[in-house]
Amino acid sequence: MDSEAFAIGIVAVSAAAAFISWVVANAVARMREARTPQLPSDLEARLARIEAAVEAIAIEVERAGELQRFTVKLSQSTAPSEPARIARPVTPR
């Protein structure tokens, strides 16, 4: 009878351990699901619009830089190469 009680105890402890591990595994899975952020469904469309806006801004900045380089180049080409010397009247002493 002692061996039968021992066997029943082993089976009961094994069943309890299996149940506890199942509960813990489910709790961990639910916690992982709760931690993952839910992304909006229109996220891809919003990101595409943001990307297009950033590209447009980059093109405008490049154009502004080209305009600035052109303006500097133009001002350098129209400016006299040597500063004009101011003629002072020569007075005899």
Kindly report whether the global pTM for this prediction surpasses the value 0.75: no
CA distances 2 to 5, 32, 67, Å, are 5, 45, 98
How far apart, in whole angstroms, are the C-alpha atoms of residue 76 and residue 19?
A: 85
Domain boundaries, the chain: 1-34, 46-78
User: What is the pLDDT confidence band of residue 92, given thresholds at 50, 70 and 90?
Assistant: confident
pLDDT digits (tens, 9 = 90+) for 2-44: 888 888 889 999 999 999 999 999 999 998 887 777 778 889 8
pLDDT of residue 85: 57
